[in-house]
């Protein structure tokens, strides 16, 4: 195919990919590599919205389990996603890619507030929009935020970039015999409690018929392959 298969995507990045080979924090070299891959597909004419998790910096659920109030812990996690969004924005703009960060919580000195119509306009003008701070509400994951934003901006698909090359029937890091699925239905994901996205996210995708493709973004070229229509990773559809 000479033209992209998708015209508008929502790229969901787990926070861990921002750390590269490190156990936590931000690896500037890895962030730059990801930024270069994003720029490559943007130059093909693809409109790109991005949601990044904050797990490389802070995990709200883990902190809540250790005694921090859940609402407080989740808001701390939202701040971590803002840090990641700014890091990715910096790398993209150093590559001359016009980028906007929109936050679900007010940080006006750092990012625009999330306004759906403004986000749509940015995308239509070819700007990359990074949505930060989740939904702005505790008890919702960045996966739910990604799904909500994908619905709001009318994305063709959610591409979930992780460290794993798809969805398995068990944890491939713990079970060498784990089997990878090439495709699944939303119902299978929910019933089998597979680690794709949380149940709320999958249900929202099912209700709004937004496909999800889970892939390993740590492998160079995977993002472009998917945008051009190749079957990389695992596809979740009706």
pLDDT (tens digit per residue) in 81-140: 999 999 999 999 999 999 999 999 999 999 999 999 999 999 999 999 999 999 999 999
CB 134 within 8 A of CB 108: no
Q: Which two tokens stand for residue 143?
A: 């996966």
CA triple 13-193-84, angle to 5 deg = 15
What percent of the chain stands above pLDDT 70? 100
Per the CB < 8 A criterion, the answer to whether 101 and 135 are in contact is no
Say what the pLDDT of residue 166 is. 95
Cα 185 from Cα 31, distance rounded (Å) = 32
pLDDT average, residue stretch 198-223 = 96
Put residue 28 in one of left, alpha, beta given phi > 0 → left and psi -120 to 50 → alpha.
Answer: alpha
Q: What are phi and psi of 163, to 5 degrees?
A: -90, -5
User: pLDDT category, 177, cuts 50, 70, 90?
Assistant: very high
Please state, in angstroms and rounded to a whole number, the distance separating the CA atoms of residues 130 and 127: 10
Global pTM value: 0.94
Q: The tokens of 216 are what?
A: 């390993």
Whether the predicted pLDDT of 224 surpasses 60: yes
Do residues 60 and 22 touch, judged by C-beta distance below 8 A? no
Do 223 and 6 meet the contact criterion of CB atoms below 8 Å apart? no
Residue 12 in this model has a pLDDT that exceeds 70: yes
Average pLDDT of the chain is 95
CA dist 5 → 1, 9, 234 (Å): 8, 10, 16
The pLDDT of residue 68 is above 70: yes
pLDDT for the residue 65 = 81
221 SS3 class: coil
Structural tokens at position 126: 């070819």
- pLDDT tens track for 188-199: 999 999 988 999
82 CA to centre of own chain:
13
Average pLDDT over residues 18-34: 94
pLDDT of residue 1: 55
How many CB atoms within 10 Å of residue 139?
12
DSSP letter at 17 equals G
The residue assigned the tokens 């713990």 is 174
Structure tokens at 19: 């750390």
CA 77 to chain centre: 15
Residue % of the chain over a pLDDT of 90: 89
Q: Structural domains in the chain?
A: 8-230 (3.40.1160.10)
Assess contact for 220 and 37: CB atoms under 8 A: yes
The pLDDT of 46-54, averaged and rounded, is: 97
User: At 158, phi and psi to the nearest 5?
Assistant: -105, 120
- Does residue 59 have a pLDDT over 90? no
More confident of the two residues 80 and 65: 80
Q: Give pLDDT, residue 229.
A: 95
């Amino acid at each position: 195919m000479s033209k992209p298969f998708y015209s508008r995507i929502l790229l969901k990045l787990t926070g861990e990919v921002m750390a590269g080979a490190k156990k936590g924090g931000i690896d500037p070299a890895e962030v730059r590599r990801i930024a270069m891959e994003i720029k490559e597909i943007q130059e093909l004419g693809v409109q790109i919205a991005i949601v990044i998790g904050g797990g490389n910096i802070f995990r709200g659920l883990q902190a809540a389990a250790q005694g921090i109030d859940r609402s407080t812990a989740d808001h701390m996690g939202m701040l971590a996603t803002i840090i990641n969004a700014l890091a990715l924005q910096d790398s993209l703009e150093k590559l001359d890619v016009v980028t906007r960060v929109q936050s679900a919580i007010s940080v006006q000195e750092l990012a625009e507030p999330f306004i759906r119509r403004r986000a749509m306009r940015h995308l239509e003008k070819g700007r990359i929009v990074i949505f930060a701070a989740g939904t702005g509400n505790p008890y919702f994951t960045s996966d739910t935020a990604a799904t909500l934003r994908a619905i709001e901006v009318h994305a063709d698909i959610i591409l979930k970039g992780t460290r794993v090359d798809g969805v398995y029937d068990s944890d491939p890091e713990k079970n060498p015999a784990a089997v990878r699925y090439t495709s699944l239905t939303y119902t299978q994901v929910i019933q089998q409690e597979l680690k794709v996205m949380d149940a709320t996210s999958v249900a929202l995708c099912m209700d709004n018929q937004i496909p999800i493709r889970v892939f390993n973004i740590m492998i160079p070229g995977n993002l472009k392959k998917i945008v051009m229509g190749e079957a990389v990773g695992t596809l979740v559809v009706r």
